[in-house]
Structure 1
Amino acid sequence: MTGTRHPHSRRGEIFRTFLLLGLTSFGGPIAHLGYFREAFVVRRGWLSESDFADLVALCQFLPGPASSQVGFAIGLRRGGLPGALAAWCAFTLPSAIALALFASGASALGGDVGQSLIHGLKLVAVAVVANAVWGMAGKLCPDRTRAGIALVAVFMAVFIGGTAGQLGAIAAGAGLGVWWCRPATAMTRPDRRELSGRASFFALALFFLLLLLLPLAATGGGEVVAVMDAFYRAGALVFGGGHVVLPLLQAEVVDPGWISESTFLTGYGAAQAVPGPLFTFSAYLGVAMAPGVHGGILAAVATVMIFLPGMLLLVGVLPHWDRLRASSTAQTLIQGTNAAVVGILGAALYAPIWQGAIVEPADFALALAGFLLLTVWRWPAWLVVIALPLASVLTG
């Protein structure tokens, strides 16, 4: 459906549609893709079923937040770059604002009841990440080869530790994937060029320039530049789903002492209760790092920077997607990388998540109950976010 609507009217339509989704899209990235299909393929006809499947395949291939990238691409197709920015802002702002407000008021949760609620949010993190590891392992490590790559990643993440261990695990996974894995059957479909080669080149060049130059600038550039570097690097390395950002951000903000591990896990638990992308956890972290207006600035910087690399890669790769996905080397590289991130997330499930939340047998029982509610009874995450903190108060 092309239409003849004025560009400003079309951008307003994009913003309103994505704002409604940002306010109501609970359930994580897979659920978001279901909402997108219903809204843009079935109800509005903005793109065909095959075009939607093509965008989903591309965004699963790239690092970054897959559902936000799909939304960005739909806005790009519908209204150009202004439409893409309108889609991203509308889908991201509700959860980012909610988590920033939670971080501002979290200090008010004092006393026994408040501490029990906070501890319950940590138990939510155990259940949610365990569910993510379980689901991702089944899909991304279906054979001995990829299970072996995941195990190598666990050892590297545990024994090397920090950012170096995670980066080394991702690099090792990519190399082992090219060496050991078999390419999948390539899909073929006519190339669709919404973007020029010049825009693609500029986006890819900017992606790598920021990845290389921000660490240098952060050495003497002050707190804001350091936050830009940390969150951009985390966003550039997230393969396999939003939950993988957890260990990357933990290494960037907890290890340097910017926030405590307890504050980090509390915010991650709260992030399960809001609609929209999980990457908006960055807004909570920004506010948690500093009080007042300065914390708000850090929240805005962190949120933009963690999403930016995924969007730059999408713009850079979109014109070349058909040729890339036909490459057997690219397919095996991504298979190995995805297996490695399962190992990284598995290591993070133990430390810091399990160690920070499970301190007595009752904690284990509640976390296990949350895991079973998610995996067996298929409860939405936001219901588990309500149930476990209440149970923690009652049993505390």
Structure 2
Amino acid sequence: MADLHGCTGRLLCISAPGGCITRLHRASASRGYTGRLLCISALHICSARLRCASIATTNARLIRFSAVNAQAGRAMDYSDAYLREFLPKENPPEGSVPAEVEEEIHRWREHAELADRELVARSTRWTYAMFAALGEGQIQRTRAAFAPLGARILARSVSIGLFDPAEKPGFGLVLDVPPWDGPAFDVFDEIRFPRLGLSFPIALRQSETTLHAPPHPANATSACWARCNKNAVWGVLTAGHALSGNRPGRPVRLAGGGTGSLLRSWYQPIDAAFVTTQNPQTMPAALPALGFPAAGQAVRLASQSGPQPRTIVRVMDSMGVLHTREFAVLLFLDQPGKPGDSGALTQMPTGEAVGIYKGAMTSPQTGSSVGLAQNFEQAAYALDITPYL
């Protein structure tokens, strides 16, 4: 949440492995938010009732969880000019972009707070035209490298978007792999999309993931209120890795002396968990989600230090395979957050939820680092909850 100058609301301290709830309603343009913040923090498990606490200048609800510190690497240098240089200059051929993608672009173009809406719209079209072609097997490899990887397997594994200019400038496909003896960033093939009339590079990128609230976390963050679709129980949504276990009924200590209860977790592979708490004092608003994020989208990370501007630089496929619990759909940000931000809501300036922050993904050789987030819509599906803010 960039250029946010103040929140009003009520603050409740809660503690547990996982998160900070931030309820923000736009007041004017991108400045001035009203709402509630929930923070969660703790190492131990105990039962007690949730208590209200008031905090000087911020009125909000807070839930704090416990976490381990880790150093982030060098952030990626994103700019619209960089995206403009490497993105195809024209839109994909007519009929190659799924209709639901075009419909979402039409919705957000009318009110999106973007310096270049047409650029981001074009980036979104190319991203999902490429994913659609991958899913249908409509590709050709130039060097036939990694031939055993079929197009559909690639569609589940790759992300599409910008390369880090410090590693190699470009726009294409990336397979993130654990460290090995090879190059840190290797463009090993070129993928031709006959229906789209263009080819794009595909690269292996060595990376190590640092979760920003490992087990027994402190000061992690919850994303939003949530309500179970099966029994209407209220709770909060946070990162699954922020909890030291995933068995239902596990107590989660809250910072005000109370205790929540883990109702459901799909970690791993889906980095999301639903922790039941007391009901919200007033009915929160339904939280919509962005279905098709893409490189160039400006977002706001509700970090513990306050709203932080970020830009999406790469995404995994959120078409067709989104409603699965078998593998995670992720998105990548130009800059990571900090330890304790795990579970934080990643949100469009216009309010739609995009992701649940996980941690940093850093190249061990170059030090280049991007932020990592779990696709929000997939998390809500996996946990069978309806999100509110």
Q: Normalising by the residue count of structure 2, what TM-score does the alignment of the two structures yield?
A: 0.24
Q: Normalising by the residue count of structure 1, what TM-score does the alignment of the two structures yield?
A: 0.24
Between structures 1 and 2, the one with greater helix share:
1
- Choose between structure 1 and 2 for higher RCO, CA contacts under 8 A separated by at least 6 residues: 1
